[in-house]
Amino acid sequence: MVSLHSSLGTERKLVTELPGPKSRALHERRRTVVSAGLSTGFPVYIERAEGAILEDVDGNHLLDMGSGIAVISVGHAVPEVVDAVSAQVAAFTHTCFMVTPYESYVQVCEELAALTPGDFPKTSALFNSGAEAVENAVKVARLATGRSAVIVFDHAYHGRTNLTMALTAKNMPYKDHFGPFAPEVYRVPMSYPFLDGLSGAEAAARAITEIETQVGAHNVAALLIEPIQGEGGFVVPADGFLPALSEWTTRNGVVFIADEIQSGFCRTGDWFAVNHEGVIPDLVTTAKGLAGGMPLSAVTGRAELMNAVHEGGLGGTYGGNPVAAAAALATIRTMRDRDLPARARVLGETMLTSLRSLAQDVAIIGDVRGRGAMIAFELVQPGTKIPNAAAAKSIVNYCNERGVIALSCGTFGNVIRLLPPLVISDEQLADAMSVFASAVRAAG
Ligand SMILES: *Cc1c(COP(=O)(O)O)cnc(C)c1O
């Protein structure tokens, strides 16, 4: 039995090669019973975690620079969350909010109404996964507007369910042979400064012209966008792009949905990435950082939209589960108490400074970008903007083998993303950055 508040120490420590013998044995066992359709970035099997440290079954201590894909922003096993979850498990684990409700669901919705941008009445509905939140946001927008078209962007990632596969841009591995996909989804160009060189206003005009000529504004229920794209490559749109789109949606009665599932909850140095330019979405989807690793997602937005839905039109057996809700409340409290938005900004400065100086003398880094603790670098063939996925793969492998969990992303698989838990220490981050630097030099 693992103690409630374990102590793993604070340093990366390798006692076997990675993956170690126990992880390799588990991976063999897995092959016979786990679908081959599930990929694994690095087959090191985890037993415990604390802060930014993962302990594997062989006793190695790894430094987590991925946060389980931007989920453990608050840190692994932080005492506040562990205590809240443990107490809730002992009290009750499920009633179904649609059968007999409980206070923590209401409290999470109060927090979401207070934290999301916009000074107007807001209501929320809670779900389990990010994809489920996105699907429900689209349902709300269609019902409230009586229109059907949904606008999405190049490089977008919104999930793997049937509707969200249609909303997601990248074919492999998310969509290939899984169609037919949902209709009335229209994809327009994203602002991608490194590749298109356009200003935010120019990129918005390009997208809006496509919408108006190919779809017609009056047919559009929702414009759905990640304020900083996640899986698609940590693409940060040029300043002015999001405000111009937001203004266009307001003028045309289109619901502006910000998918903040990856960028939200302190990750970018603010509670939400849209805050950077003061954009106020009509609906916001959240999930990853929200509940300290417990499955919880939400759609939050203008009460007149969210409440337009007939009673019973939204829901699900597990949505807003009491254990996940308790975790979310403790996570939000911890983020506030420890001022994790400010910490994310500090981490971002450190990562950007380190990567920018590296980019000066390594020709394979084409671009360094991101905001707060959502930072990435894009790998290219030297002297060009041609994607270099091989370099990304070799950098990820190099880091992983040395006990630094690294993630790639991007439509072309050529972007490395840095997503540390926001409670990572300065020393841990410095250690991780030096491993990334060696990895990049080795790949270059
Ligand atoms: C991860 C992600 C999703 C999907 O969330 P799941 O919980 O995996 O369904 C949707 N949108 C964005 C921006 C994401 O990063």
C-alpha to C-alpha distance for 185 and 344, rounded to whole angstroms = 34
Report CA dihedral (306, 311, 316, 319) to the nearest 10 degrees: 50
**Cβ of 134 less than 6 Å from ligand 1:** yes
Pair of tokens at residue 72: 């453990």
Asked if 161 and 127 count as a contact pair (C-beta separation under 8 A), the reply is: no
Residue type present at position 406: A
Mean pLDDT for 186-207 is 98
**Cβ of 159 less than 6 Å from ligand 1:** yes
**Cβ of 258 less than 6 Å from ligand 1:** no
Mean pLDDT for 238-257 is 98
According to the model, what pLDDT value does residue 3 have? Answer: 53
Asked if 363 and 287 count as a contact pair (C-beta separation under 8 A), the reply is: no
Mean pLDDT for 34-63 is 97
According to the model, what pLDDT value does residue 5 have? Answer: 62
Mean pLDDT for 11-22 is 97
According to the model, what pLDDT value does residue 7 have? Answer: 86
Q: Taking Cα atoms as reference points, which of 395, 407, 393, 404 lies closest to residue 430?
A: 404
**Cβ of 262 less than 6 Å from ligand 1:** yes
C-alpha to C-alpha distance for 218 and 204, rounded to whole angstroms = 18
Reported confidence tier of residue 393, pLDDT bands at 50, 70, 90:
very high
Reduced to 3 states (helix: H, G, I; strand: E, B; else coil), residue 293 is: coil
**Cβ of 63 less than 6 Å from ligand 1:** no
CA 162 to centroid of ligand 1, rounded, Å: 13
Reported confidence tier of residue 6, pLDDT bands at 50, 70, 90:
low
C-alpha to C-alpha distance for 4 and 255, rounded to whole angstroms = 44
**Cβ of 259 less than 6 Å from ligand 1:** yes
Mutate to test the pocket of ligand 1, among 71, 134, 294, 415 (most ligand atoms within 8 A of CB): 134
Residue nearest to atom 5 of ligand 1 (CA): 130
Asked if 365 and 392 count as a contact pair (C-beta separation under 8 A), the reply is: no
Q: At 75, give phi and psi (nearest 5°).
A: 100, 155
Pair of tokens at residue 221: 């229920």
Pair of tokens at residue 361: 């003398």
Q: At 242, give phi and psi (nearest 5°).
A: -65, -45
CA 251 to centroid of ligand 1, rounded, Å: 28
C-alpha to C-alpha distance for 432 and 440, rounded to whole angstroms = 12
Mean pLDDT for 3-27 is 90
**Cβ of 226 less than 6 Å from ligand 1:** yes
Task: Give residue-wise pLDDT tens across range 117-167.
Answer: 999 999 999 999 999 999 999 999 999 999 999 999 999 999 999 999 999
Asked if 80 and 330 count as a contact pair (C-beta separation under 8 A), the reply is: yes
Distance of CA 294 to the CA centre of its chain: 14
Distances, alpha carbon 118 to alpha carbons 15, 114, 284, 435, in Å: 51, 9, 11, 41
According to the model, what pLDDT value does residue 1 have? Answer: 41
pLDDT at 46 over 60: yes
pTM (whole model) above 0.75:
yes
List domains and CATH numbers for the chain.
21-64+339-443 (3.90.1150.10), 82-337 (3.40.640.10)
Task: Give residue-wise pLDDT tens across range 396-410.
Answer: 999 999 999 999 999
CA 80 to centroid of ligand 1, rounded, Å: 25
Q: Taking Cα atoms as reference points, which of 111, 97, 101 lies closest to residue 300?
A: 111
CA 179 to centroid of ligand 1, rounded, Å: 19
**Cβ of 135 less than 6 Å from ligand 1:** no
**Cβ of 232 less than 6 Å from ligand 1:** no
C-alpha to C-alpha distance for 186 and 157, rounded to whole angstroms = 14
Asked if 377 and 194 count as a contact pair (C-beta separation under 8 A), the reply is: no
Task: Give residue-wise pLDDT tens across range 84-126.
Answer: 999 999 999 999 999 999 999 999 999 999 999 999 999 999 9
**Cβ of 158 less than 6 Å from ligand 1:** yes
